[in-house]
Amino acid sequence: MIKQAAGWIFALLVFVGSTAQADVVSWPQVLVGENDAEVLIYQPQVETFSGNSIEARAAVSVKSKATNGVPAFGAIWIQAKIDVDRDARTAIIRDVDIGDVRFADASGEQRQNLADFIEAEIEGANFEISVDQLLADLDSQSAGPVGVGLKHEPPAIILSTKPAMLISIDGEPVLKKIEGTDYERVVNTAFLIARDGRDYYLYIGSNVWYVARAIDGLWSRASAVPSGVAGLVEVAEDGEEVGDLDIIIATEPTELVVTDGVPTWAPVEGMNLLYLDNTDSNAFLELSTQKYYVLLSGRWYRSEGIVGESDWEHVPNDELPSPFGDVPEDSVNGAILSQVAGTTQAREAVLDNTIPQTAAINRSDASFSVEYDGAPDFAPIEEINVEYAQNTSSAVFKYGQLYYACDDGVWYVSNSATGSWAVATDVPEAIYKIPTSNAHHNVTYVKVYDVTPEVVYVGYTPGYYGSYYYHGAVVYGSGWYYQPWYGPHYYPRYPTWGLHVTYNPWYGWGVGVSWTNGPFRFTFSGHGAWWGVGGYRPYPRPYVHGGYRKTNININGDVNIGGGRNRPETRPNVYDRPENRNRNVERPAVPSDRQARPANNVQNNVLADRSGNVYQRSNSGDWSQRDNGRWSQPQNLDRSSPSLPSTRPSQMPATRPSQGFDSRTRPATRPQLERDFNARQQGAQRSQSFDRQSRQRRR
């Protein structure tokens, strides 16, 4: 096999979600101190979240000898760092600093003592929270900039009513002689296409070859293949029977919709909408307008027809007809809700797009190196004083007299384009202005968060792998076509089209199916290089709700592109790849008394308002307020009120704008309490649902 660089394929490989076990994280959590004193911390109510930093308030209760064993309730405001594991969808809240304290059950000296006790017990402790609990509490305004210069011109959309396979070539075919043979290979495609001087041969796996006289001609099953061509791949010992396929060659951005025979339509129950039910694609007919809609890479396109030549136009995710937002969540089409702005699923996807994957990197790591196709060749990036290397698959930049490179979510710096490279402790702001029109825009989603003498804390948000916020939803890919590098080597860039990318609410973006008789396996080497198509892997196609199976396919380290009930587990965390683990620094183990544990048999129904008042919600939905050691009927929950002074001990520095006396008024308390409580419930439910999904996929 012949190695070629294809970092854009690996981007999908590492970005799709995980089937790692996700244990539901329980709140409240407890810390046990000396003499069996306990601090009970209810689930934090997030106020700001940026990078790996969080600010939140939380209701707490303290039980100790000083309180005669009776819980004293109060509220704290914290600032902390957060380490995220998107595989398990859990996060560790660490390096907690107390910014403010308010106790409803204490006064005078006792209040001071409780505040001191809280600081001693909580500061430096670790708490675990699920990503789903975290994002449920975030504000949708955290989504980020709209569009970031994305393009949405439709690709060529082809409908096939017979089993077909889309073979994408990055522009016109480029042939290179295969060293040591008399054959040539098309190098600007992920598929193995070889030429023996007269005919083209395409390998689709499972020892099956197709042949054509011209690359854009009629392809047919090859009954015989020259030994020199067949020898380019290993014989598949477990080859499966493969039915005949229509081979569709595309040299421009193209998406393939395959139906099992003539398109058939079925109603979306209870609304003025039909869906194409004999396909893996998401296609609809809106009856009131008789317009067809197709969902591709998270983007919607509309046309007057779906068969034959059609003019497709882009429809922003927040401009779809109203029936799309009413598609039942548990229906065969429920997955589209993540791409329909205004739905709960779209909001969750948008907020999930802001959660980083984080890691601690050893500052002494020197494992990174760059392979150029010849001498380093740099070109300017428009409108910023940054240059980028064209003739490498790595993301390398020159700014001033220094060179910066981003490799698998870690920044490196060097005095030379060829190294040696050291882990970077900061990145120039100019690099974060790389526009979407540049193939390396994705590195602007990789950040350096913190630095110690031994460790650099880094992280990336899903934009690093092409997931972007757009009009109330997330879409895959920038929509730009990035010119590849041609030389003795070929370096492709990130594509938006041709891989049938779809979004799964639990596992993110994955490669879908653009053929109807089964998935194919691609095998990739490290650092994004690929080796071509491997074996054919058929899978059962169960019917869902009487319709054709709509599948969101995820891909893993050896990358099976396909579905089925026994899909291999995936690991999206690029920091956890075997070849990268030596860069990582394990955090020192937290002493048992500094690691909070879930409290048994305690409801997570106590919250703090923005002034530090503590409330409890009953199972019937009624609220009570803590005051002077007891729960009582609250007053004026539905009226605005003046801000209250801080009760933080005077020796502690003020960190919050609400501290001290404030003559301004606050809005009514009940709506905020209800919002926070509902978010807490939704986060717990989503965590449990993810846990169930993970367990089912492991069966």
Tokens 């194919």 sit on residue: 520
Task: Supply 471's token pair.
Answer: 């009009």
* Res 513: pLDDT: 42
- Residue 170 phi, psi (nearest 5): -80, 80
Q: Who's near 600: CB < 8 A, 6+ residues apart? A: none
pLDDT of 233 reads 83
- Bridge partners (DSSP) of residue 38 are 32, 63
The C-alpha atoms of residue 573 and residue 18 are separated, in whole angstroms, by: 9
The pLDDT score that the predictor gives to residue 60 is 93
Residue 427: Cβ-neighbour burial (10 angstroms; 0-12, 13-18, 19+): buried
CB atoms within 10 A of CB 288: 10
Most distant CA pair in the chain, distance: 93
CB 409 within 8 A of CB 357: yes
* Chain-centre distance for alpha carbon 216: 37
Virtual torsion, Cα 113, 118, 120, 126, nearest 10 deg: 180
CB atoms within 10 A of CB 293: 23
C-alpha 372/C-alpha 207 separation (Å) is 34
55 in Cβ contact with 48 (< 8 Å): yes
pLDDT score of 490: 83
The residue to which tokens 């409290």 are assigned: 599
pLDDT at 665: 60
* Structure confidence at residue 249 (pLDDT): 95
| DSSP letter assigned to residue 595 | B
DSSP secondary structure letters along 7-34 = HHHHHHHHHS------PPPPSSEEEE-G
In this structure, what token pair is assigned to residue 482? 């990035």
Spatial contact of 490 and 484, defined as CB atoms under 8 Å apart: yes
Give average pLDDT by consecutive 10-residue segment, the chain, 699 residues: 34 38 71 83 91 92 80 91 87 89 78 82 87 81 66 94 90 88 87 90 87 95 90 73 85 92 91 91 94 96 87 95 92 92 91 90 95 95 93 94 96 95 96 94 94 94 90 92 86 86 79 42 30 25 27 28 28 80 85 83 92 92 90 84 47 37 63 90 80 52
Distance CA(469)–CA(486), nearest Å, equals 32
Element (H, E) at 519: none
Q: What is the pLDDT of residue 231?
A: 86
Predicted confidence at residue 694, as pLDDT, reads 55
In whole angstroms, how far apart are CA 46 and each of 41, 86, 137, 445? 14, 19, 6, 22
Q: What is the pLDDT of residue 240?
A: 60
> What are the tokens at 181?
């043979």
Strand partners, 398: 387, 403
Cβ–Cβ contacts within 10 Å for residue 495, how many?
A: 25
pTM, two decimal places? 0.82
CA distance 19 to 289: 41
Please give the sequence-ordered ranges of beta strands (E in DSSP) within 573-642, or none if there are none: 597-598, 606-608, 614-617, 623-627, 630-632, 641-642
pLDDT score at 611: 87
